[in-house]
Chains A and B, each alone.
Chain A
């Protein structure tokens, strides 16, 4: 094993050591060069994006004339331009559905780009956004994935018969027989929510168009995979060498999500073409949360066949993946990234899988740290916990009985993964011992004796890294794959060069997003060439016009340590061997005698010695003195792809990744009896990521992934209303844990080097995103016990959700207290319904007539500047609506219908404004009461969409209630004059608002 590593057993001064990051000093001193900081060409214009407030609608009219007249506006890019200059993005499945960088006919999710306003600065561009007139014809939204998969559901894409755009079955071994003959079976249905790994820095794109060459030059903080470069160049209708894509030196984080920047690369390239100037766009937080990307939400039904000891013989997965409104490349990769290793860390030989990809009116999904892993392990490890509960045995025993045996590596899994190395049994024992499981069990006993809810959860997982570019083709049938040409591999590239003064430069095409690639690349090269770490400069910018790159370039699938650092090693070895050959010829010694260390090249016996810079410099200054084989100059690029990453075979087996690390996690959680809050008492996480190149960075990766996993487990979810409204538009709605909420995990390590990577390293960046959410869920399940339906353990496990699972025993509502039917729909509800009543000192007939009177109607509507009759009892109104500091001017239609004088009528309205759309109707009933007065009962329903729903969710219901209430109290006021008790100020205020037309 590891012959590749021992071949050059160079002295390791740096590799394997805890080395602080060379990146950090600049970043900590504020000297980082992020995308938004970089100088832009003179004359660069700025873009703002018009976005759909609706989840599903047809664009019936789009007029930009008014926007073009606004100060500083230089152009507006629309779907018409896009149709002229671009193509839809290629899609990974054979379906006739189109995804363009701007909506061309329909919008299919809230926040979908509809037009781009380009102006002299971002302020002016945003000023003009609301001047772009867009009319929509609303279509029925499809939000829930199971409902969307129904044959009767409305389809998002007309030319596609069903929202299920891909449906594949796989069978490995003999699952049917295994299930038929099993002593026991158990099935579990679980849902994994939508969430995302949210970086501080959002997308930044600067697009340029060169009419001379007909090419585009775009700087973007895109992170790969560079297979998407071809998707972008095809959308732009240029050969790949006419799309120069460049990345900035530093990143404010990505965690996968900056893959989703690619549609904006195309959009801003076209925007630049539209205005004949460079165009810069910086995504803001609302845009990011609403419409950038997200992890795929999944509904899984998983079933196991097992015996009375908990030995599992077969698994069945039925996975329904919700990829949002468009299947955006590389999706459906989320579904297939884990395919080869769906059986986890277990030796389960029989497997049946059904994967369906469904489209819904939500933001398209894409890369997010863990990619596919959290979804798979949530189902698999919850099921293993359920098996233990069912058999009343220790969950650890169920795990142990099913692990891949230590002597079986490399181990071929049922679905094709080739587990490269490991010793899972030893990992479990190490974790138990060093993590203090006995103590944790004692803590659980003690807590339970005190009547506290305390649970322990376990997870084992294999963490795949270095994706096989061929796994994505699993969405195709074998026949389709053959026709399209087989795909496989994972080419990584690195370049090492030595300049005339002996300075070493390294370039990698890994577009790091904060992981410390510069540090590790320098460690690798420093060890090979025997120079100091500080003397090496590592360049991580990627310029597709100048640098070595390939489709697998980029930052994803935890591929750096295993693949890219390996390519760096290969490139450094090429330099090394050239210098060795020069030295051997000059000194007439054999290659084995030559050593590189501390900036010198010398022979072991001390007879010869030369400084590194003089030896290397000779390739530039005096190539004529060198052996004939020397061409001069010193720059070497290495491409490396592992042989093990083959294309899917005829039996549909796929080695979906090159390396598989091992994780064993367990944790203890306490649940607060009053609040339902989950407190992580201790979290232990053991990792075997092969050889650790820099243990400090490995720990950093584990901590970061763990923090995001705590978010996924307890806090984070994108919330959508039943109409597809989006409710998580600010970081006060989408809750990311802070250092206050993330405990420090106990991190344990073991090392079984990978035989397949040049340095024996495996990826480690995503493991806890996969293992931790389910581990916490298993602990919560253990704490809550049998009273809870297993499928109800759903992430995020918020206090409200957990406390509800514990059972809230509510005393009944006392007579006459509170209101009926005023609770809005769960999730904040964009559709709000409620009822109320008001007494008016006038007869029903008078009240009825007054409402039909335009003057009274205008006076009734708060903030109504003008009311213009457009038909019988139909008006167009100019209204300023708001509560407190929040207000917007609406262009509204108001209508009175269902007239039944003097008993009832319907008041309805719809309006749009810069902050969103609102639509509502109130059913009004008039009843005569004592003294000839009227009781006016009303029940209403209001739907609110767009920006205000995304950022104001928690206030919508109270605000609507107040505004609707105002309508009828103002009517009452109109009818009774001063008789209604009001403060002096309220009267003044109403007068002010009434005459507010000059606002």
Chain B
């Protein structure tokens, strides 16, 4: 479990980083926290010619509240975002979901944008981005940037709209909307494991943005009307995701969770497990 040889670049500016990407082309990999990539390199499932480490690019390390959204730079770790004082006020869904992202040790290195870029179908941050309708900002040569809506960015398993010569410089999460309720719930084998099913909801006065992670090959978001028959809508959604059996959970179980956990999430019911936490001590 030793990686194949690669060239290592540690640029100090995003321009330098992009120059390397252009020069090396598709054989370059961007590394930030390395929480997914390093394991893949060690197992030699990826043998890039070059690694471009963006962790030292200070200009990419920020959390900024701007007009209508929270911008998070590409070098910002998940732990830094979790420690951001106004997270529960600004983007409550992130405050709910971030504790589910790995473990505090992995959050200390793992970056917010790295998780988005990796596009693991069971990851929490891509699910939140898609559910909230956030954006990914990509930059390429000569400072040209483009912005892609979260829902469009994820193209399949580990596959995104990013081009090889582009650097994700930031992601933007829309700020909390007045009278909206945000909820997140997940089932994993152990805390911090890949989600078997993860659900995120942005519940507005009329509409609900309802996101499902861990089931399809990317986060799937449906807009539900509060006037709909939600049970029916959740059943349609559950069946539309092409759920698969794997070693830890059956497809039917995943559909069950989309329906039933979804119903409870939208109704604001606590689960028994949550209720059990307030039981008297064992």
Residues of A bordering B, CB below 8 Å:
122-123, 126-127, 284-286, 452, 670, 672-677, 679, 681-682, 715, 717, 719, 727-728, 730, 732-733, 735, 737-738, 740-741, 743, 798-800, 803-804, 808, 810-811, 813-814, 817-819, 822-829, 882-888, 914-915, 947-948, 951-955, 957-959, 961-962, 983, 985, 988-989, 992, 996, 999
Q: Does B139 contact A (CB under 8 A)?
A: no
Whether B27 and A961, one on each chain, are in contact in the complex, defined by CB atoms closer than 8 angstroms, is: no
Whether A952 and B45, one on each chain, are in contact in the complex, defined by CB atoms closer than 8 angstroms, is: yes
Q: Contacting A818 at CB < 8 Å: which of B156, B190, B241? A: B241
Q: Does B59 contact A (CB under 8 A)?
A: no
Q: Does B223 contact A (CB under 8 A)?
A: no
Residues from chain B with a CB closer than 8 A to the CB of A127 are: 4-5
Residues from chain B with a CB closer than 8 A to the CB of A810 are: 252, 255-256
Instruction: State the CA gap A948–B4 with chains docked (Å).
Output: 16
Candidate in B119, B239, B264 with the most chain A CB atoms within 10 angstroms: B239
Instruction: State the CA gap A674–B186 with chains docked (Å).
Output: 12
Whether B161 and A826, one on each chain, are in contact in the complex, defined by CB atoms closer than 8 angstroms, is: no
Candidate in B122, B249, B272 with the most chain A CB atoms within 10 angstroms: B272
Q: How far is the CB of A994 from chain B (nearest CB, A)?
A: 12
18 further A-B contacts with Cβ under 8 Å, apart from A728-B247, A888-B45, are A123-B3, A286-B43, A672-B273, A674-B257, A677-B187, A681-B282, A799-B253, A800-B250, A803-B256, A818-B242, A885-B118, A886-B40, A886-B45, A958-B121, A958-B156, A962-B156, A983-B161, A992-B164
Encode contact with A along B161-187: 1 for CB under 8 Å, 0 otherwise: 101100000000000000000000001
Instruction: State the CA gap A740–B190 with chains docked (Å).
Output: 8
Whether A800 and B273, one on each chain, are in contact in the complex, defined by CB atoms closer than 8 angstroms, is: no
Q: Does B196 contact A (CB under 8 A)?
A: yes
Residues from chain A with a CB closer than 8 A to the CB of B46 are: 882, 885-887
Whether B187 and A799, one on each chain, are in contact in the complex, defined by CB atoms closer than 8 angstroms, is: yes
Whether A672 and B249, one on each chain, are in contact in the complex, defined by CB atoms closer than 8 angstroms, is: no
- Nearest 8 pairs of A and B residues by beta carbon: A884-B158, A284-B1, A800-B249, A958-B217, A800-B253, A958-B157, A818-B239, A719-B247
Q: How far is the CB of A47 from chain B (nearest CB, A)?
A: 12
Whether A798 and B248, one on each chain, are in contact in the complex, defined by CB atoms closer than 8 angstroms, is: yes
- Contact A951 to B161, CB < 8 A, known contacts A715-B189, A824-B244, A824-B245: no
Q: Does B205 contact A (CB under 8 A)?
A: no
Whether B236 and A808, one on each chain, are in contact in the complex, defined by CB atoms closer than 8 angstroms, is: no
Residues from chain B with a CB closer than 8 A to the CB of A953 are: 246-247
Name which residue of chain B comes closest to A883, CB basis: B158
Whether B256 and A955, one on each chain, are in contact in the complex, defined by CB atoms closer than 8 angstroms, is: no
Among residues 30 to 88 in chain B, which have CB atoms less than 8 Å away from a CB atom of chain A? 36-37, 39-40, 43-48
Residues from chain A with a CB closer than 8 A to the CB of B217 are: 958, 961-962
Instruction: State the CA gap A955–B243 with chains docked (Å).
Output: 12
Instruction: State the CA gap A670–B282 with chains docked (Å).
Output: 12
Whether A675 and B187, one on each chain, are in contact in the complex, defined by CB atoms closer than 8 angstroms, is: yes
Whether B45 and A948, one on each chain, are in contact in the complex, defined by CB atoms closer than 8 angstroms, is: yes
Whether B43 and A808, one on each chain, are in contact in the complex, defined by CB atoms closer than 8 angstroms, is: no
Whether B282 and A682, one on each chain, are in contact in the complex, defined by CB atoms closer than 8 angstroms, is: yes
Q: How far is the CB of A544 from chain B (nearest CB, A)?
A: 31
Instruction: State the CA gap A242–B259 with chains docked (Å).
Output: 67
Residues from chain B with a CB closer than 8 A to the CB of A886 are: 40, 45-46, 158
A-B contacts, 8 listed (Cβ < 8 Å): A674-B271, A810-B256, A884-B119, A885-B37, A915-B45, A958-B216, A996-B26, A999-B26
Residues from chain B with a CB closer than 8 A to the CB of A822 are: 242, 244
Whether A123 and B5, one on each chain, are in contact in the complex, defined by CB atoms closer than 8 angstroms, is: yes
Q: How far is the CB of B101 from chain A (nearest CB, A)?
A: 14
Q: Does B14 contact A (CB under 8 A)?
A: no
- Contact A828 to B190, CB < 8 A, known contacts A679-B273, A992-B164: no
Candidate in A887, A914, A989 with the most chain B CB atoms within 10 angstroms: A887
Instruction: State the CA gap A983–B160 with chains docked (Å).
Output: 13
Q: Contacting A989 at CB < 8 Å: which of B156, B163, B189? A: B163
Q: Does B235 contact A (CB under 8 A)?
A: yes
- Contact A804 to B190, CB < 8 A, known contacts A675-B273, A885-B40: no
Whether A823 and B191, one on each chain, are in contact in the complex, defined by CB atoms closer than 8 angstroms, is: no
Whether A883 and B40, one on each chain, are in contact in the complex, defined by CB atoms closer than 8 angstroms, is: no
Instruction: State the CA gap A885–B163 with chains docked (Å).
Output: 13
Instruction: State the CA gap A674–B185 with chains docked (Å).
Output: 12
Whether A743 and B282, one on each chain, are in contact in the complex, defined by CB atoms closer than 8 angstroms, is: yes
- Contact A123 to B261, CB < 8 A, known contacts A799-B189, A887-B46, A951-B43: no
Encode contact with A along B12-38: 1 for CB under 8 Å, 0 otherwise: 000000000000011101000000110
Q: Does B145 contact A (CB under 8 A)?
A: no
Name which residue of chain A comes closest to B243, CB basis: A823
Instruction: State the CA gap A953–B5 with chains docked (Å).
Output: 26
Q: Does B209 contact A (CB under 8 A)?
A: no
Residues from chain B with a CB closer than 8 A to the CB of A123 are: 2-3, 5
Instruction: State the CA gap A798–B246 with chains docked (Å).
Output: 12
Instruction: State the CA gap A888–B244 with chains docked (Å).
Output: 24
Whether A817 and B252, one on each chain, are in contact in the complex, defined by CB atoms closer than 8 angstroms, is: no
Q: Contacting A798 at CB < 8 Å: which of B122, B191, B242, B249? A: B249
Among residues 188 to 228 in chain B, which have CB atoms less than 8 Å away from a CB atom of chain A? 189-191, 193-194, 196, 216-217
Name which residue of chain A comes closest to B4, CB basis: A127
Residues from chain A with a CB closer than 8 A to the CB of B272 are: 452, 670, 672-674
Q: How far is the CB of B67 from chain A (nearest CB, A)?
A: 28
Whether A800 and B248, one on each chain, are in contact in the complex, defined by CB atoms closer than 8 angstroms, is: yes
Instruction: State the CA gap A952–B252 with chains docked (Å).
Output: 21
Whether A992 and B1, one on each chain, are in contact in the complex, defined by CB atoms closer than 8 angstroms, is: no
Whether A670 and B159, one on each chain, are in contact in the complex, defined by CB atoms closer than 8 angstroms, is: no
Q: How far is the CB of B273 from chain A (nearest CB, A)?
A: 5
Name which residue of chain A comes closest to B253, CB basis: A800
Instruction: State the CA gap A883–B250 with chains docked (Å).
Output: 24
Instruction: State the CA gap A679–B273 with chains docked (Å).
Output: 8
Residues from chain A with a CB closer than 8 A to the CB of B40 are: 885-886
Whether B251 and A823, one on each chain, are in contact in the complex, defined by CB atoms closer than 8 angstroms, is: yes
Name which residue of chain A comes closest to B191, CB basis: A740
Whether A735 and B26, one on each chain, are in contact in the complex, defined by CB atoms closer than 8 angstroms, is: no
Q: Does B240 contact A (CB under 8 A)?
A: yes
Whether B190 and A915, one on each chain, are in contact in the complex, defined by CB atoms closer than 8 angstroms, is: no
Q: Contacting B190 at CB < 8 Å: which of A672, A675, A741, A957? A: A741
Whether B273 and A677, one on each chain, are in contact in the complex, defined by CB atoms closer than 8 angstroms, is: yes
Residues from chain A with a CB closer than 8 A to the CB of B89 are: none
Whether B157 and A959, one on each chain, are in contact in the complex, defined by CB atoms closer than 8 angstroms, is: yes
Instruction: State the CA gap A366–B223 with chains docked (Å).
Output: 54
Instruction: State the CA gap A284–B2 with chains docked (Å).
Output: 9
Q: Does B267 contact A (CB under 8 A)?
A: no
Residues from chain B with a CB closer than 8 A to the CB of A808 are: 252-253, 256
Q: How far is the CB of A127 from chain B (nearest CB, A)?
A: 6
Instruction: State the CA gap A800–B189 with chains docked (Å).
Output: 9
Whether B244 and A733, one on each chain, are in contact in the complex, defined by CB atoms closer than 8 angstroms, is: no
Instruction: State the CA gap A673–B260 with chains docked (Å).
Output: 10
- Contact A800 to B161, CB < 8 A, known contacts A808-B252, A810-B256, A992-B26: no
Instruction: State the CA gap A676–B250 with chains docked (Å).
Output: 13
Whether A675 and B271, one on each chain, are in contact in the complex, defined by CB atoms closer than 8 angstroms, is: yes
